[in-house]
Chain A
Amino acid sequence: MSQKPAFKSSADAVTLLTRGASLSYLGVVLLLPLAALGFEALRPGPRVFFEALSDPLARYALGLSFTLALAMAVVNAVIGTATAWVLVHRDFPGKALMNSLIDLPFAVPTVVAGLMLVALYGPSSTMGLLLERNGVPLIYHRPGVAVALLFVTYPFVIRSVQPVWLELDPAEEEAAATLGANHWTTFFAVTLPALRPAVLSGAALAFSRALGEFGGISLVAGNRPLDTQTASLYVYGAIEGDRTQVAAAVSIVLLAASFAVLLILNSLQNNAVKLD
């Protein structure tokens, strides 16, 4: 494309081009399919949309998914930050190996993760029998769904916190220590505020991932309506059962909620950055 005199410099043109290109890309890859989904959900009119959402089975499934996703966000925020601390501050044999293992949930198809969990904790496994005898059966029960979600959301917080922590200036922590603060005070007053944006964005990713997760859940949940049927399983059933609009309506709620959570967490992050 030849440069036109309207641009002050070639740098302006490049900026405009790259911005245009990335926005178009976002539009084609992400927004267009989302718009199609919204269209599908609302096409038959708002009445059908709300009817789909007033189905007790759909409501329960949405509630279960949100509860589990929130739990994943909280659990991962705590455990992920702790794991990142170990990786940043401690040296031990096998650390490099551990560091590589963390990303495995990204590499394994989540349905395989589900299969591994069934093999490990399923009704015919030793672990499964042991758990069942102690009254905490996992597979085909809600705790099993949580375990599957823990597996697939494991890397997010670690991977978003670890690099930030590595870049933190140890001088501030040392200063706090010099002033007499103990480890915990130092962590909560100095380190955590600096890490907060990273923890939040990791937790947000874990939340969204847990909310939409299907493959890992499909094998371990048992898919019982009003019991272990999550929103993603419900949507799958609706699609397969030719109730596309029901599927679209529930998906829209999942998307909107996910988007809201991401927006809130993003604004929290921005505030944190501004405070700096």
Chain B
Amino acid sequence: MMPSPAESWMRATVAVVLSGCAQASSKPEDVREMTLRIAAASGFRDVCRLRLLPGFADHWKARHGVRPKFEESYASSGSLTRSIDSGFDADVALLMSVGDLDRLAKSNILRQAGSRSSISGIIARGRVVIGVRPGNPKQIRSWDDLARDDVGVILADPRVSGGSRWNIFAIWGAAQLRDDGSTASARDLLAGITRRVVTFESSSRLSLAAFARGAGDTVVTAESELHSLRTRTGVAYETVVPARTLRMDLPGCLIEVSVEKHGNRAVAEEFFAYLNEPEAQAAFQEFGFAAMEVEAEAPTRFDTPTAKSSLFTIEELGGWPRLNDEIFGETGVWDGLFIASNGRGTAR
């Protein structure tokens, strides 16, 4: 059996902390002058700025008597990944998709010289939901409702925004699990929904912005994004959790090449460890993410009143790389959805 992401997270951490002790850093480490460079997906912006960074600063100060400095950059998970891959200077990356983590892992920047492991793993979870206007005027209850002729859907373009592929995987998986693994039925549902798309925005944030400006009746997004939209706009957009939906596993990692260069291993490792502490996990939950201990079968700690919803995982669908290939790969079904429907939906 595969170890759960949380387990592998712990194991990787331990392995590298041990190996890290023996290794001399290129620069002398003085904890009083440490700056932590954080690159986080836009979806983590609020929780980082309002909870995680202040919380960690207190935590660090209690131990070392001084607050660490932060340099933050927020962008879409995909473009952050690309920047980091081509040398952008960040010590810790918080990403939206396992695919992005895989990409960084492939380029060797996550490993110390001579070490086989990296400090990386799932830092938080979330789930894919449907956002509707206050009062749910179109009575949206399920994924199938999104394919209705009277419904306009807003999606982040999964071709552009890797993180928003979770949304597509959720729809795909829900139909597949309902109909005993039928690819045809998953394809039908996805085709039906893409026909109703009003606009494919280039990021999750922009899809919510378009929804808030009045486009469409529904937006498929992460629960945390909807939470953030409600906070920003003060409008009571409602969260509809379909009977089956996907649990999002959101990864983070230490960029070893940067940490080596900056000589700030202590603060970077401690920040990463801090993310798994109850205080940080509670912060994630407060911002619409799910805490790490929430299991697929018991989504009781989610804050929405919606009745029970069963969560499935990306592993149940065959894992991110396989699914990614199946839908967005060269022979994937995605482009075909539009060709089959001859492009022109009747979406408003």
Q: How far does the alpha carbon of A5 sit from the alpha carbon of B154 in the complex, in Å?
A: 72
By the criterion CB–CB under 8 Å, are B213 and A122 in contact? yes
Query: Could you tell me which residues of chain B, from 200 to 217, have a CB within 8 Å of some CB in chain A?
Result: 200-202, 213-216
Q: How far does the alpha carbon of A119 sit from the alpha carbon of B213 in the complex, in Å?
A: 8
A172 at the interface (CB under 8 A from B): no
A240 at the interface (CB under 8 A from B): yes
By the criterion CB–CB under 8 Å, are A225 and B335 in contact? yes
A57 at the interface (CB under 8 A from B): yes
By the criterion CB–CB under 8 Å, are A237 and B338 in contact? no
Task: Report which of A125, A222, A226, A237 forms a contact with B339, defined as CB distance below 8 A.
Answer: A226
B343 at the interface (CB under 8 A from A): yes
By the criterion CB–CB under 8 Å, are A237 and B348 in contact? no
A158 at the interface (CB under 8 A from B): no
B23 at the interface (CB under 8 A from A): no
Residue numbers in B under 8 Å from A224 (CB-CB): 197, 199-200, 338, 343, 345, 347
Query: Could you tell me which residues of chain B, from 177 to 207, have a CB within 8 Å of some CB in chain A?
Result: 197-202
Query: Could you tell me which residues of chain A, from 45 to 61, have a CB within 8 Å of some CB in chain B?
Result: 55-57, 60
By the criterion CB–CB under 8 Å, are B339 and A123 in contact? no
By the criterion CB–CB under 8 Å, are B343 and A122 in contact? no
By the criterion CB–CB under 8 Å, are B201 and A122 in contact? no
Stretch at the interface among B113-121, B156-164, B295-303: B156-164
Query: Could you tell me which residues of chain B, from 130 to 169, have a CB within 8 Å of some CB in chain A?
Result: 157, 159-162
Q: How far does the alpha carbon of A57 sit from the alpha carbon of B347 in the complex, in Å?
A: 19
- In the assembled complex, the CB of B180 is this many whole angstroms from the nearest CB of chain A, namely 30
Interface size, chain A (Cβ < 8 Å):
28
Q: A122-B213, A123-B215, A227-B344 are in contact. Are A140 and B198 (CB under 8 A)?
A: yes
Q: A223-B157, A223-B202 are in contact. Are A240 and B79 (CB under 8 A)?
A: yes
A250 at the interface (CB under 8 A from B): no
Query: Could you tell me which residues of chain A, from 119 to 167, have a CB within 8 Å of some CB in chain B?
Result: 119, 122-125, 128, 132, 137, 139-140
B43 at the interface (CB under 8 A from A): no
Q: A122-B214, A240-B78, A241-B159 are in contact. Are A222 and B200 (CB under 8 A)?
A: yes
A218 at the interface (CB under 8 A from B): yes
Residue numbers in B under 8 Å from A241 (CB-CB): 159-160, 162, 328
Q: How far does the alpha carbon of A218 sit from the alpha carbon of B201 in the complex, in Å?
A: 8
Task: Report which of A57, A128, A132, A223 forms a contact with B199, defined as CB distance below 8 A.
Answer: A223
Q: How far does the alpha carbon of A221 sit from the alpha carbon of B202 in the complex, in Å?
A: 11
B331 at the interface (CB under 8 A from A): no
By the criterion CB–CB under 8 Å, are A122 and B344 in contact? no
Q: How far does the alpha carbon of A240 sit from the alpha carbon of B328 in the complex, in Å?
A: 13
By the criterion CB–CB under 8 Å, are A227 and B345 in contact? yes
- In the assembled complex, the CB of A243 is this many whole angstroms from the nearest CB of chain B, namely 9
Query: Could you tell me which residues of chain B, from 298 to 348, have a CB within 8 Å of some CB in chain A?
Result: 328, 335, 338-339, 342-345, 347-348
Residue numbers in A under 8 Å from B348 (CB-CB): 123, 132, 137, 140
A236 at the interface (CB under 8 A from B): yes
By the criterion CB–CB under 8 Å, are B338 and A226 in contact? yes
Residue numbers in B under 8 Å from A240 (CB-CB): 78-79, 159-162, 202
A204 at the interface (CB under 8 A from B): no
- In the assembled complex, the CB of A118 is this many whole angstroms from the nearest CB of chain B, namely 6
Task: Report which of B79, B161, B197, B335 forms a contact with A57, defined as CB distance below 8 A.
Answer: B335
By the criterion CB–CB under 8 Å, are B338 and A123 in contact? no
Query: Could you tell me which residues of chain B, from 253 to 270, have a CB within 8 Å of some CB in chain A?
Result: none
Residue numbers in B under 8 Å from A223 (CB-CB): 157, 199-202
User: What per-residue 1/0 map shows which CB atoms of A210-235 lie under 8 Å from chain B?
Assistant: 00000000100111111100000000
By the criterion CB–CB under 8 Å, are B344 and A226 in contact? yes
Residue numbers in B under 8 Å from A137 (CB-CB): 348
Residue numbers in B under 8 Å from A57 (CB-CB): 335, 338-339
By the criterion CB–CB under 8 Å, are A218 and B213 in contact? no
Q: How far does the alpha carbon of A261 sit from the alpha carbon of B293 in the complex, in Å?
A: 61
Q: How far does the alpha carbon of A124 sit from the alpha carbon of B213 in the complex, in Å?
A: 6
Q: How far does the alpha carbon of A227 sit from the alpha carbon of B344 in the complex, in Å?
A: 6
Query: Could you tell me which residues of chain A, from 229 to 265, have a CB within 8 Å of some CB in chain B?
Result: 236-238, 240-241
Q: How far does the alpha carbon of A221 sit from the alpha carbon of B201 in the complex, in Å?
A: 9
- In the assembled complex, the CB of A164 is this many whole angstroms from the nearest CB of chain B, namely 40
Residue of B nearest to A225 (CB): B338
Residue of A nearest to B152 (CB): A123
Using a CB–CB cutoff of 8 Å, the interface residues on chain B facing chain A are: 78-79, 157, 159-162, 197-202, 213-216, 328, 335, 338-339, 342-345, 347-348
6 A-B Cβ contacts within 8 A?
Answer: A55-B335, A57-B338, A122-B214, A139-B215, A223-B202, A224-B345
Using a CB–CB cutoff of 8 Å, the interface residues on chain A facing chain B are: 55-57, 60, 118-119, 122-125, 128, 132, 137, 139-140, 218, 221-227, 236-238, 240-241
Q: Add 12 more A-B contacts to A123-B215, A128-B214, A224-B199 (CB < 8 A).
A: A56-B335, A56-B339, A60-B343, A119-B213, A123-B214, A124-B213, A132-B348, A137-B348, A140-B199, A226-B343, A227-B343, A237-B157
